[in-house]
Amino acid sequence: MEGKEEVKIDNIVGSSTFPDNTQSSYPFQGVFDFCEGDKSSLGFMELLGMQDFSASVFDMLQVPSVVQPAASNPVATKMESPEVLNQPATPNSSSISSASSDALNDEPVKVADNEEESSRRPGKTQETNQKRQREPRFAFMTKSEVDHLEDGYRWRKYGQKAVKNSPFPRLALFLAFDFRSYYRCTSASCNVKKRVERSFSDPSIVVTTYEGQHTHPSAVMARPSFTGAASESGFSTSAFVMPMQRRLSHFQQQQQPFLNSFTALGFGYKGNTNATFLHERRFCTSPGSDLLEDHGLLQDIVPSHMLKE
């Protein structure tokens, strides 16, 4: 895959129909072009490989040539923040296998291989000689008023920063606006982390970025009340929790075969009901090939009668 490539984004629509017959949708259309090797498209390239992307897909899909009128498409605005795409590259995209290589792991379980470093700052075992290897990251977009969405695991917040993209970074702390929150899985020996932030372009969208893989079952899934099928309404909270885990493992398994594809995700989330809806389509970026629609795990989580139409 060399040189400039143009990808037609044909109606990326995450439309949700909830049991109460309300609807929400997130339509996207346009043409996305990128250049492999071009730094400005770094974020997208990482997205292609499912290795590391911290910018939201929505942000990446903001291209000047987007067809949708801005009024009806809140994300169809010109990209104004180059930082979004200037995320540092994954140092070694082929070394996902070294699951225990998280140098930031400060659990006591971790064998300290750098004594002098830890003496300078207690509890810190960051490697000095070797570049820190990041776990693959997976980002999810959720349209929600709630920042921290239930995903079946228990998290402890360990940091918060005002995001750089904010037009008023100094005011951000006062206004409780444009935060990025850092969470760590509370389970011992599980060093999964997640980052939660609002999309810069559409503040109604929460971008949740997961890093690492859980080494334990979900706390919610372990409870008997959540292990069954969906509730009588056709949905239950597990309709959200369950797919989140399965999607993560799904992506992690699929990332090698689908190096040439990316997945656009749209989550609908309604606060007052338990209803959740997930929509997934996978687009092949090979020029000339048909867009590959993939229900993915959709059929696993949405009642069959809702898939019929």
Helix (H), strand (E) at residue 47: helix 42-49
Nearer to DNA, 3 or 123 (CB): 123
The distance of closest approach from Cβ of residue 221 to DNA in the complex, given in angstroms and rounded to an integer, is 17
DSSP string, 212-230: S--SS--TTTTSGGGTSS-
Q: Which amino acid is at 32?
A: F
Min separation Cβ 51 and DNA, Å? 14
Enumerate binding residues for DNA (CB under 7 A): 54, 83, 88, 91, 104, 106, 117, 120-124, 126, 128, 131-132, 154-161, 163-164, 173, 180-182, 186, 193, 195
Q: How far is the CB of 49 from DNA (least distance, A)?
A: 17
Cα angle 206, 200, 75 (rounded to 5 degrees) comes to 90
Q: Which is nearer to DNA, 73 or 209 (CB)?
A: 209
Q: How far is the CB of 122 from DNA (least distance, A)?
A: 4
Cβ proximity to DNA: between 186 and 189 the closer is: 186
One-letter amino acid for residue 72 of the chain: S
Q: How far is the CB of 241 from DNA (least distance, A)?
A: 17
Backbone angles phi, psi at 170, to 5 degrees: -75, -35
Measured from the CB atom, is 78 or 120 closer to DNA?
Answer: 120
Whole-number Cα distances in Å, 58 to 44, 85, 88: 11, 12, 19
Q: Which is nearer to DNA, 131 or 223 (CB)?
A: 131
